[in-house]
Amino acid sequence: MTSIARLMLATTLALSSLSVVAQDKKPDLAKGEASYTAVCAACHGADGNSGSPENPKLAGQHPQYLVKQLQEFKSGKRNNAVMKGFATTLSDDDMVNISHWLASKQPKPGFAKEKDLVALGERIYRGGIAERKIAACAGCHSPNGAGIPAQYPRTSGQHADYSKTQLTAFRDGIRANSVQMTGVAARLNDREIRAVSDYMAGLR
């Protein structure tokens, strides 16, 4: 099986694992805002634009992706003690409402900080590293980092520190809820992870 075929199969399996609730329930944005404000805003910002580089920006993120992450925090498939504690308090309806409310918020742009790594980050993001069979990030997350709804999250403007932490966690087997990302990150070194994380922060 080719690497592309494996990627497509993994994507299909990931999508099929999404709760029916996440796909079929009509969201209540007012309830979503209320639940978000009560449970999530302290860490992720009042409008989903986290001011802390350790906590991800969630504004404008694909709702199906957010629901999947919340479900996996709750189940323990994505291992994070803090997020598990919060996600455990949420019902499926809460997750859908919060995720769709966040998707309706305008994400604030970020910027790259490490000028000496911009070229490397751009090369990996747009073209991958063919000799080491590292796929281009743009193939799944789109050239401008907007992602592909449901399958692949928005990465543009995301805090570089957060992206770096997640890529490292995928590489080191700490985060294990995406076969695709584990396969890509496993081939990246620390400098490459830092470079592509910083480049994504500045994508528009």
pLDDT in tens, 142-174: 999 999 988 899 999 999 999 999 999 999 999
What pLDDT does residue 3 have? 47
CATH class for the domain made up of 18-103: mainly alpha
pLDDT in tens, 45-58: 999 999 999 999 99
What pLDDT does residue 11 have? 46
What pLDDT does residue 23 have? 53
Token pair 């805090």 is found at: 159
pLDDT in tens, 79-126: 999 999 999 999 999 999 999 999 999 999 999 999 999 999 999 999
Confidence of residue 14 (pLDDT cuts 50, 70, 90): very low
Of 8, 7, 58, the closest CA to residue 36 belongs to: 58
Alpha-carbon gap, residue 169 to 178, rounded angstroms? 11
Please give the share of the chain, as a percent, with pLDDT higher than 90: 86
DSSP 8-state class, residue 116? G
Alpha-carbon gap, residue 163 to 194, rounded angstroms? 9
Token pair 């009042």 is found at: 46
Name the CA radius of gyration of the chain, rounded.
16
Confidence of residue 179 (pLDDT cuts 50, 70, 90): very high
What pLDDT does residue 182 have? 97
Q: Which amino acid is at 105?
A: K
The answer to whether the 18-103 and 115-201 domains have the same CATH topology is yes
Q: Which residue has the higher pLDDT, 1 or 125?
A: 125
Q: What 3-state class would DSSP assign to 3?
A: helix
What pLDDT does residue 151 have? 84
Contact by Cβ (8 Å): 50, 57: yes
Mean pLDDT across the chain: 91
Alpha-carbon gap, residue 110 to 130, rounded angstroms? 28
What is 115-201's CATH number? 1.10.760.10
What pLDDT does residue 189 have? 98
Q: Flag whether pLDDT at 140 surpasses 90.
A: yes
Domain ranges of the chain: 18-103, 115-201
